[in-house]
Amino acid sequence: MPENIHVMIVEDESIVAMDLAAGLEHDGYTIAGIADNYDDAIKIFSENPVDILLMDIHLHGSKDGVDTAGALMKIKPVPLIYLTAFTDPVTIERVKHTNPAAFLTKPYNIDNVRISIDLALHHFAEEKTTTGKILSMQSVAEKKTDKDHFLQLKEYVFIKQNYRYVKFKLSEILFAEADNNYVNLQTATQKFALRLSLSDLLDRLQFSRLIRIHRSFAVNLNEINSFDDQLIRIGQHEIPIGRNYRQDFMNYFNLR
């Protein structure tokens, strides 16, 4: 089943945290948890699925947001966005070492947070590098393209639906179908339209079980229920086998 993106908020002002959580939930995100100090942040982060981290710098207790972010990244690296009123040079230098995807100053608006989440997921999924570069909202806009509507992170795919990403496991894909300038990804419960070609999808998607069996179709080998020389059946779907692809398909089963 497709899942919402799980966002964790670390913020010392409860009103601000709840307002941010409400805005993100309205946009379709799931709040993994809210913490206002180091210890609670460690506990929530360790015990819950978190896809992206929103971090204030001023927190309750002796350790601030930079300390907390550094500790959380050692548990599991996830995209990190700072939301803070602290913009002095010393603080900026400190946050660079935690490799944030973006740095938003308070007061912020939910549109900027949403765009920053998109960018953070993009960089984490596509580049997987730690440059330490803090990106401005201008660079966010410059980097948004049609291809940003499809991201991959390990065994998960992130698909842009309207203004937010939903995620599902690669193994949930039943098949992909070319449709003019789009390709449709079909799961058991939903169909996602991506603005790219089937060849581009297969090149970008790191999923060896999804193989091309027709100029317009690629199927997940693990989801095939039955097949003959002409058709593959996946659930209620019948998918043609192209003549030029038939032998390669049969070779997956060591058939002659």
DSSP H helix total and E strand total for the chain: 8, 17
User: Could you tell me the two tokens for 42?
Assistant: 């460690």
Provide the 10 A C-beta neighbour count for residue 209. Answer: 14
> 183: which strand partners?
178, 194
Place of tokens 């401005």: 136
Check residue 144 and give its pLDDT. Answer: 39
Cβ neighbours of residue 3 closer than 8 Å, sequence gap 6 or more: 30, 166, 167, 168
d(CA 129, CA 44): 26
For domain 173-251, say whether CATH 2.40.50.1020 is its number: yes
Q: In what order do the strands lie in the sheet with 175-179?
A: 191-194, 182-186, 175-179, 217-220, 210-214
Question: For each of the chain's 256 residues, which pLDDT tens digit applies?
Answer: 557 789 999 999 999 999 999 999 888 889 999 999 999 999 999 999 999 999 999 999 999 999 999 999 999 889 999 998 887 888 888 888 888 888 888 888 888 888 888 878 877 765 543 344 444 333 333 333 344 467 777 788 888 766 667 788 899 999 999 988 889 999 988 888 888 889 988 888 888 999 999 999 999 999 999 999 899 999 999 999 999 999 889 888 875 5
Backbone CA torsion sign across 148, 154, 157, 163: negative
116-134: b or e for each residue (b if 16 or more CB lie within 10 Å)? bbbbbbbbbbbeeeeeeee
Domain ranges of the chain: 3-146, 173-251
Give me the pLDDT at residue 163, please.
62
* Ramachandran sector of residue 28 (left: φ over 0; alpha: ψ -120 to 50; beta: rest): left
Global pTM value? 0.58
**Cβ partners under 8 Å of residue 22, min gap 6:** none
Place of tokens 């089937």: 198
| 159: phi then psi, degrees, rounded to nearest 5 | -115, 130
pLDDT of residue 102: 83
CA separation for the pair 253, 191 (Å, rounded): 28
Measured distance CA(48)–CA(67) in Å, rounded? 20
Residue type, 85: A
Element (H, E) at 35: strand 30-35
Fold of 3-146: Rossmann fold (3.40.50)
